[in-house]
Protein backbone atom coordinates (compact mmCIF):
# COMPACT_ATOMS: atom_id res chain seq x y z
CA UNK A 1 0.00 0.00 0.00
CA UNK A 2 1.18 3.51 -0.86
CA UNK A 3 0.23 6.26 1.57
CA UNK A 4 0.41 9.99 0.85
CA UNK A 5 0.62 12.26 3.91
CA UNK A 6 0.27 15.99 4.40
CA UNK A 7 -0.59 18.49 7.15
CA UNK A 8 -1.01 22.23 7.66
CA UNK A 9 1.56 22.71 10.44
CA UNK A 10 4.50 22.23 8.08
CA UNK A 11 6.85 19.45 7.03
CA UNK A 12 8.93 19.85 10.22
CA UNK A 13 5.98 19.51 12.59
CA UNK A 14 6.23 16.77 15.24
CA UNK A 15 2.65 15.76 14.37
CA UNK A 16 3.44 14.68 10.83
CA UNK A 17 6.62 12.93 11.98
CA UNK A 18 4.58 10.92 14.48
CA UNK A 19 1.89 10.10 11.88
CA UNK A 20 4.59 8.93 9.47
CA UNK A 21 5.99 6.68 12.19
CA UNK A 22 2.60 5.08 12.90
CA UNK A 23 1.48 4.90 9.26
CA UNK A 24 4.75 3.21 8.25
CA UNK A 25 3.36 0.04 9.85
CA UNK A 26 0.70 -0.05 7.10
CA UNK A 27 2.60 0.70 3.91
CA UNK A 28 5.04 2.77 1.90
CA UNK A 29 5.08 6.44 2.91
CA UNK A 30 5.49 9.63 0.91
CA UNK A 31 4.84 12.96 2.66
CA UNK A 32 4.30 16.23 0.81
CA UNK A 33 3.61 19.05 3.28
CA UNK A 34 3.87 22.85 3.38
CA UNK A 35 7.33 24.29 3.98
CA UNK A 36 5.82 26.52 6.70
CA UNK A 37 2.79 26.75 8.96
CA UNK A 38 -0.41 27.00 6.87
CA UNK A 39 -2.95 26.70 9.69
CA UNK A 40 -6.38 28.12 8.87
CA UNK A 41 -5.66 28.26 5.13
CA UNK A 42 -8.67 26.06 4.33
CA UNK A 43 -9.07 24.72 0.79
CA UNK A 44 -6.91 27.40 -0.86
CA UNK A 45 -5.06 26.35 -4.02
CA UNK A 46 -2.19 28.26 -5.64
CA UNK A 47 -3.12 29.31 -9.18
CA UNK A 48 -1.32 32.65 -9.59
CA UNK A 49 2.24 31.97 -8.41
CA UNK A 50 4.83 29.20 -8.85
CA UNK A 51 5.50 26.53 -6.23
CA UNK A 52 8.87 25.25 -5.04
CA UNK A 53 9.24 21.55 -4.17
CA UNK A 54 12.20 20.06 -2.30
CA UNK A 55 13.18 16.81 -0.63
CA UNK A 56 14.32 17.08 2.96
CA UNK A 57 17.90 16.10 3.64
CA UNK A 58 16.96 14.06 6.72
CA UNK A 59 14.42 11.75 5.06
CA UNK A 60 14.02 11.29 1.30
CA UNK A 61 10.38 10.27 1.82
CA UNK A 62 9.57 13.83 2.89
CA UNK A 63 8.92 16.70 0.50
CA UNK A 64 8.37 20.33 1.42
CA UNK A 65 6.27 22.55 -0.85
CA UNK A 66 5.88 26.32 -0.83
CA UNK A 67 2.11 26.01 -0.92
CA UNK A 68 -1.04 24.99 0.90
CA UNK A 69 -2.16 21.51 2.05
CA UNK A 70 -4.41 21.38 -1.02
CA UNK A 71 -1.41 22.15 -3.23
CA UNK A 72 0.53 19.41 -1.46
CA UNK A 73 -2.02 16.71 -2.18
CA UNK A 74 -2.48 17.91 -5.77
CA UNK A 75 1.30 17.87 -6.36
CA UNK A 76 1.74 14.62 -4.43
CA UNK A 77 -0.85 12.73 -6.49
CA UNK A 78 -0.18 14.27 -9.89
CA UNK A 79 3.58 14.86 -9.77
CA UNK A 80 5.55 13.19 -6.98
CA UNK A 81 3.62 9.90 -7.13
CA UNK A 82 2.29 10.12 -10.69
CA UNK A 83 4.15 6.97 -11.82
CA UNK A 84 2.64 4.88 -9.02
CA UNK A 85 -0.40 6.49 -7.44
CA UNK A 86 -1.12 6.50 -3.71
CA UNK A 87 -3.88 4.28 -2.37
CA UNK A 88 -4.95 6.53 0.51
CA UNK A 89 -4.33 10.01 1.97
CA UNK A 90 -3.63 10.83 5.62
CA UNK A 91 -3.52 14.40 6.94
CA UNK A 92 -2.12 15.58 10.29
CA UNK A 93 -1.58 15.09 13.07
CA UNK A 94 -2.67 18.66 13.75
CA UNK A 95 -1.40 20.21 16.98
CA UNK A 96 -4.82 21.51 17.99
CA UNK A 97 -8.49 20.72 17.52
CA UNK A 98 -10.39 20.76 14.25
CA UNK A 99 -13.86 20.40 15.69
CA UNK A 100 -17.25 21.51 14.43
CA UNK A 101 -17.24 24.46 12.07
CA UNK A 102 -13.42 24.57 12.23
CA UNK A 103 -13.41 22.10 9.33
CA UNK A 104 -14.28 24.97 6.97
CA UNK A 105 -11.10 26.83 7.95
CA UNK A 106 -8.84 23.88 8.65
CA UNK A 107 -5.90 23.14 6.38
CA UNK A 108 -5.69 19.70 7.99
CA UNK A 109 -9.25 18.86 6.97
CA UNK A 110 -8.59 20.44 3.55
CA UNK A 111 -5.72 18.02 2.94
CA UNK A 112 -8.10 15.08 3.44
CA UNK A 113 -10.83 16.81 1.43
CA UNK A 114 -8.45 17.31 -1.50
CA UNK A 115 -7.48 13.65 -1.30
CA UNK A 116 -11.19 12.83 -1.63
CA UNK A 117 -11.53 15.19 -4.59
CA UNK A 118 -8.59 13.34 -6.18
CA UNK A 119 -10.57 10.10 -5.81
CA UNK A 120 -8.67 8.65 -2.83
CA UNK A 121 -9.96 7.44 0.57
CA UNK A 122 -8.80 10.12 3.02
CA UNK A 123 -8.66 10.81 6.74
CA UNK A 124 -7.53 13.75 8.89
CA UNK A 125 -6.21 13.56 12.47
CA UNK A 126 -6.05 16.30 15.12
CA UNK A 127 -4.91 16.22 18.76
CA UNK A 128 -6.43 18.66 21.22
CA UNK A 129 -3.97 21.01 22.95
CA UNK A 130 -2.88 21.06 26.58
CA UNK A 131 -0.71 23.38 28.64
CA UNK A 132 1.46 20.31 29.27
CA UNK A 133 2.08 19.71 25.57
CA UNK A 134 1.30 16.89 23.16
CA UNK A 135 1.86 13.34 24.52
CA UNK A 136 2.36 11.57 21.21
CA UNK A 137 3.18 8.13 22.54
CA UNK A 138 0.07 8.15 24.73
CA UNK A 139 -2.14 8.34 21.63
CA UNK A 140 -0.24 5.88 19.45
CA UNK A 141 -2.75 3.07 19.99
CA UNK A 142 -5.66 5.37 19.04
CA UNK A 143 -4.01 6.63 15.87
CA UNK A 144 -3.17 3.06 14.90
CA UNK A 145 -6.75 1.98 15.59
CA UNK A 146 -8.07 4.89 13.55
CA UNK A 147 -5.92 3.94 10.57
CA UNK A 148 -6.90 0.27 10.89
CA UNK A 149 -10.62 1.04 10.89
CA UNK A 150 -10.19 3.57 8.09
CA UNK A 151 -8.54 0.92 5.91
CA UNK A 152 -11.08 -1.76 6.85
CA UNK A 153 -14.09 0.53 6.40
CA UNK A 154 -13.18 3.37 3.99
CA UNK A 155 -15.43 6.43 3.87
CA UNK A 156 -18.27 6.61 1.38
CA UNK A 157 -17.64 8.16 -2.03
CA UNK A 158 -17.00 11.93 -1.88
CA UNK A 159 -16.63 11.71 1.92
CA UNK A 160 -13.62 11.81 4.24
CA UNK A 161 -13.12 11.13 7.95
CA UNK A 162 -12.18 13.87 10.40
CA UNK A 163 -10.71 12.54 13.67
CA UNK A 164 -10.24 14.55 16.87
CA UNK A 165 -8.32 13.00 19.76
CA UNK A 166 -8.64 14.27 23.36
CA UNK A 167 -5.37 15.25 25.00
CA UNK A 168 -4.58 12.61 27.64
CA UNK A 169 -2.93 15.28 29.80
CA UNK A 170 -6.35 16.84 30.42
CA UNK A 171 -8.93 14.17 29.52
CA UNK A 172 -8.34 10.42 29.93
CA UNK A 173 -9.37 8.72 26.69
CA UNK A 174 -12.46 6.52 27.19
CA UNK A 175 -12.85 5.12 23.68
CA UNK A 176 -13.72 6.01 20.10
CA UNK A 177 -17.10 7.09 18.72
CA UNK A 178 -18.67 8.21 15.44
CA UNK A 179 -19.80 11.82 15.75
CA UNK A 180 -21.70 14.58 14.01
CA UNK A 181 -20.18 18.04 13.60
CA UNK A 182 -20.64 20.32 16.57
CA UNK A 183 -20.17 24.08 16.70
CA UNK A 184 -17.21 26.16 17.82
CA UNK A 185 -18.07 29.84 18.06
CA UNK A 186 -15.11 32.14 18.51
CA UNK A 187 -14.96 35.61 20.04
CA UNK A 188 -15.25 38.13 17.20
CA UNK A 189 -12.23 40.18 18.22
CA UNK A 190 -10.20 42.42 15.91
CA UNK A 191 -7.15 43.97 17.57
CA UNK A 192 -5.81 47.18 15.98
CA UNK A 193 -2.15 47.89 16.77
CA UNK A 194 0.76 49.87 15.36
CA UNK A 195 3.98 48.44 13.99
CA UNK A 196 7.40 49.99 14.86
CA UNK A 197 6.96 52.45 11.96
CA UNK A 198 3.61 53.65 13.22
CA UNK A 199 1.48 51.90 10.62
CA UNK A 200 -1.69 50.20 11.79
CA UNK A 201 -2.15 46.46 11.46
CA UNK A 202 -4.98 44.15 12.49
CA UNK A 203 -4.85 40.85 14.38
CA UNK A 204 -7.93 38.63 14.13
CA UNK A 205 -9.49 36.27 16.65
CA UNK A 206 -10.04 36.10 20.37
CA UNK A 207 -9.13 33.41 22.88
CA UNK A 208 -12.66 32.59 24.02
CA UNK A 209 -14.46 29.70 22.30
CA UNK A 210 -18.07 28.68 22.97
CA UNK A 211 -19.17 25.14 22.14
CA UNK A 212 -22.97 24.64 22.44
CA UNK A 213 -24.11 21.41 24.07
CA UNK A 214 -25.01 19.18 21.11
CA UNK A 215 -25.37 15.51 22.11
CA UNK A 216 -23.47 13.16 19.80
CA UNK A 217 -21.34 15.96 18.35
CA UNK A 218 -17.57 15.84 18.04
CA UNK A 219 -17.29 18.75 20.51
CA UNK A 220 -19.32 16.93 23.16
CA UNK A 221 -17.56 13.62 22.67
CA UNK A 222 -13.99 14.91 23.00
CA UNK A 223 -14.99 16.79 26.17
CA UNK A 224 -16.19 13.43 27.51
CA UNK A 225 -12.89 11.74 26.62
CA UNK A 226 -13.81 10.03 23.35
CA UNK A 227 -11.92 10.05 20.09
CA UNK A 228 -14.49 11.58 17.71
CA UNK A 229 -14.66 10.39 14.10
CA UNK A 230 -16.84 12.49 11.79
CA UNK A 231 -17.68 11.70 8.14
CA UNK A 232 -17.49 14.94 6.12
CA UNK A 233 -19.15 15.16 2.70
CA UNK A 234 -17.62 17.24 -0.07
CA UNK A 235 -21.13 17.94 -1.39
CA UNK A 236 -22.46 20.50 1.10
CA UNK A 237 -25.77 21.13 -0.67
CA UNK A 238 -28.60 21.81 1.78
CA UNK A 239 -31.11 19.30 0.41
CA UNK A 240 -33.90 20.47 2.72
CA UNK A 241 -33.61 24.05 1.42
CA UNK A 242 -33.32 22.83 -2.16
CA UNK A 243 -36.71 21.14 -1.84
CA UNK A 244 -38.29 24.43 -0.71
CA UNK A 245 -36.86 26.59 -3.50
CA UNK A 246 -39.52 26.14 -6.15
CA UNK A 247 -40.15 29.89 -6.10
CA UNK A 248 -36.65 30.38 -7.59
CA UNK A 249 -37.64 28.53 -10.76
CA UNK A 250 -38.67 30.65 -13.76
CA UNK A 251 -38.75 30.51 -17.54
CA UNK A 252 -37.68 33.24 -19.92
Give the CATH number, domain containing residue 8. Answer: 3.40.1210.10
Is 161:155 a contact under the CB 8 Å cutoff?
A: yes
> Cis omega (within 30 of 0) on the bond before 146?
no
Residue 5: count of CB within 10 angstroms of its CB: 28
In a domain, 185, yes or no: yes
At 251 the pLDDT is 81
> Which residues have a Cβ under 8 Å from the Cβ of 54 and sit 6 or more positions away?
35, 63, 64
At 207 the pLDDT is 72
Report d(CA 40, CA 17) in Å as an integer: 20
In a domain, 242, yes or no: no
> Which residues have a Cβ under 8 Å from the Cβ of 19 and sit 6 or more positions away?
5, 7, 90, 92, 93, 125, 143
> Which residues have a Cβ under 8 Å from the Cβ of 100 and sit 6 or more positions away?
181, 182, 183, 184, 211, 217, 218, 219
Domain count, the chain: 1
Report d(CA 192, CA 173) in Å as an integer: 40
Closest CA to 45 of 94, 110, 123: 110
At 27 the pLDDT is 97
Name the β-bridge partners of 180: 217
Instruction: Put residue 150 in one of left, alpha, beta given phi > 0 → left and psi -120 to 50 → alpha.
Output: alpha
In a domain, 247, yes or no: no
In a domain, 249, yes or no: no
At 60 the pLDDT is 86
At 53 the pLDDT is 97
Three-state DSSP class for 125?
strand
pTM across the whole model: 0.94
At 236 the pLDDT is 92
In a domain, 170, yes or no: yes
In a domain, 230, yes or no: yes
In a domain, 248, yes or no: no
At 188 the pLDDT is 85
Q: Domain limits at 166?
A: 2-235
Per-residue pLDDT tens over the stretch 170-219: 999 999 999 999 998 888 889 999 999 999 999 887 677 888 999 999 99
Return the CA Rg of the chain. 19
At 172 the pLDDT is 95
In a domain, 244, yes or no: no
Low-confidence ranges of the chain (pLDDT < 50): none
At 167 the pLDDT is 97
Amino acid sequence: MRILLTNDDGIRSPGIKFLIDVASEFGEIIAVAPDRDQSGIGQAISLTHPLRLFQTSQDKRLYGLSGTPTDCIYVGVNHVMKDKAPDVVLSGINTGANLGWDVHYSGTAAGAREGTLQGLPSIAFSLLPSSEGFPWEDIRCWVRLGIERFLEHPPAEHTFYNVNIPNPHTTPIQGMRAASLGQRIYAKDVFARNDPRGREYLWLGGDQVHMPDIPGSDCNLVKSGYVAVTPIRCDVTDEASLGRMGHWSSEQ
